Every structure is written in structure tokens, then in C-alpha cells.
Amino acid sequence: MFFPQFRARRIRGNEVFRRMVRETALSVDDLVYPMFSAFGSGIKKEISSMPGIYQQSIEHIVTDAREAYDLGIPAVLLFGIPETKDAVGSDAYSDTGIIQETVRAIKRAVPGLVVITDVCMCEYTDHGHCGIIKDGDVDNDSTLELLAREALSHVRAGADMVAPSDMMDGRVAAIREVLDENGFDKIPIMSYAVKYASGYYGPFREAAESTPQFGDRRSYQMDPANRLEALREAAADIEEGADIIMVKPGLPYLDILRDLRNEYNLPLAVYNVSGEYSMIKAAAGNGWIDEQRVVLETMLGFKRAGADIIITYHAKDVARWLKKG
């Protein structure tokens, strides 16, 4: 059926009809809010490249977490900035590490909020890489033991879910084995299954103070040119026991998100990363775009491409906008 019998504008011209046939829905239940916990007290330092996002000491993190929960956001994702860093990232798996203490504080204050912890070494090592350095590169197998120890320490502190982001081969299996052996078989793993070596991470490295002191992360993060490799990476993590798989970054990799949605029936997350956030904030700050409209359109794009979960620094704003209708 073609024009003039078919007129798409018959539906588009009526707001009620548009709502009735809308194919993709965005909900506050889709959102995860990332937060940066810093060692010390009285700290609330805005990240210069990420307006509205802060490095915060635990008392402020708890307040922020409560606000997210009151807005209906179901979960937060924690990153830590420790007091000191060393070559083996020892704060990452210390029982009194910054993340462990933050998890305890949030769970005491806001027990209904799901706490997810990022499991990696880059925030805790003095060299800024995601594992143990040998011969000028990250040694995969010796790093696995530390990642497993880190995940276990987070769960013992009360984390509801762990999210390994390091991109070491075999890390999901190593973490799953250690959690199961210690009676935490019910704790899910959200794997950064498909994480590209991306230029979009720049503002995050300021926020987490995790810039590599030499080289880059291309020997363990994925080449942006590769598409089929994403299917292999996701398949490996699923086989090793991942409960949720993730694509990171989001906007430049919507094709990858759709590929994974078509291929697998596991819950699928996307990380709307710092560089994506900062670009929208910068454009909105200059009056070039309508921030609310562009952010909500971006979130719908992730959902339309297949995401079940959206990790985004916009989460609190999105929750407020959705509440207003």
C-alpha cells in the first residue's frame, strides 16, 4: 500500500497515537549510576571535564547514593580513588580499601540500593595499567589471581554484583570460581565483555586518576576496527559464567550492541562513557543543543539497539525527566 492510500502522518500527527504505537520504551529501571569514591573526608571535587560529576569522600557518596535511590534508580556502579597506589594495586583487594568501605557505608545507609563494583586494577596501580606489569606489558595470568581476590573482597564487604572491566583473558572464570568456592554462588557477574581501546575514555581517566604512566591499553582492550571479535569475546565470557554482558563505549558501537542482542539472549548492558557524556554537556553548555532532548534520544538509541541496562552519568537527570513525563 502506497501514497495516497498509505499516509504515515495519520499516526504521527496525533500524540496519543504516537504513544500507542511507540516501539521502544525507556524506564528508570534501565539505569545504573556510576560514582567515584575518594579516600578522605569532606571531599566533593567536581571533575573538570564532566560537569555535575564528582570525586567524593564516603559521606558524600552515601548522600548521592540515597538521592539516586529516591529518584528510583535501582543500582550504582562504584569506582575508587585510594589513598596510595602501588605496583600491585593492593588497595583493590584490601578489606579496608576505599571501595570495600564505600560498599559497607552505602549498604548500611541505603540497603535497598543495588551496589555494583568495578573490578579492575588501573585505579589502584601506580603505573595506571589494569594488572601486573612484566616485561613492559600487563601479564595476563598473574593478574587473574588479584582480580579474583578483588572481586571476593568486594562481595565480602556487601557488593551485590561485580563487574570486571580489565579485559584479561579468563577473568570471568577466575572470579566465578573464587566466588563459588567461598559461598557466593548467588552473586552475579556483569562482564565488560566487549570493551574497546577507545579515545572516549579521556574524562574518566581524570575522574579515576587512572591514566597509564607508559604506553596504552591496546594489548588487552579491543581494536575499534573489529566487529566479529566482539562475538568471540562475548561467547568466551558467557561460557566462563557471565550473567550480564556489556558493550563499552556506547554510541560508536551501536552496531556491536545490536549484533550481541541478535546473537545472545543474556541480559545486555551498555556503558554510556565519560567522553560521550562530556560532549553532550559541552554542546549543551554552549547552547548548541537541547540537553534533555538529546540525552533522552541517546538513551532510546541504546534501548532500540538492544540494551537492557544503561550505565550512564546522566542517570539522575534522566530519572528526573522521566518522572516529570
Q: 107-121 pLDDT, tens per residue?
A: 999 999 999 999 998
| CA 288 from centre of chain | 27
Cα 295 to Cα 251, 267, 289, 318: the distances in Å are 12, 23, 10, 8
Q: Residue 160 is part of a domain; what is its CATH number?
A: 3.20.20.70
Residue 5 located in a structural domain: no
* Cα(283)–Cα(250) distance, integer angstroms: 18
Does the active-site annotation cover 45? Answer: no
Give the H or E element holding residue 204: helix 202-208
Residue 4 located in a structural domain: no
DSSP code at position 223? P
| CA 52 from centre of chain | 17
The string of pLDDT tens digits covering residues 145-182 is 999 999 999 999 999 999 999 999 999 999 999 999 99
pTM for this predicted structure: 0.96
* Cα(51)–Cα(113) distance, integer angstroms: 24
* Cα(191)–Cα(168) distance, integer angstroms: 11
For range 206-225, the mean pLDDT: 83
Annotated catalytic residue within 85, 248, 281, 303: 248
Annotated catalytic residue within 85, 107, 195, 281: 195
Residue 13 located in a structural domain: no
Residue 114: its pLDDT value, please?
98
Lowest-confidence segment of 143-157, 199-213, 276-290 by average pLDDT: 199-213
For range 7-15, the mean pLDDT: 94
For range 50-61, the mean pLDDT: 97
Does the active-site annotation cover 85? Answer: no
Residue 10 located in a structural domain: no
Domain residues for the domain of 304 are: 24-324
Residues pairing with 45 in the sheet: 55
Number of domains in the chain: 1
- Is the peptide bond preceding residue 224 cis, with omega within 30 degrees of 0? no
Residue 216: its pLDDT value, please?
76
* Cα(295)–Cα(280) distance, integer angstroms: 8
Residue 149 located in a structural domain: yes
Residue 122 located in a structural domain: yes
Whether the CB-CB separation of 272 and 313 falls below 8 Å is answered with yes
Give the H or E element holding residue 18: helix 15-21
Residue 306 located in a structural domain: yes
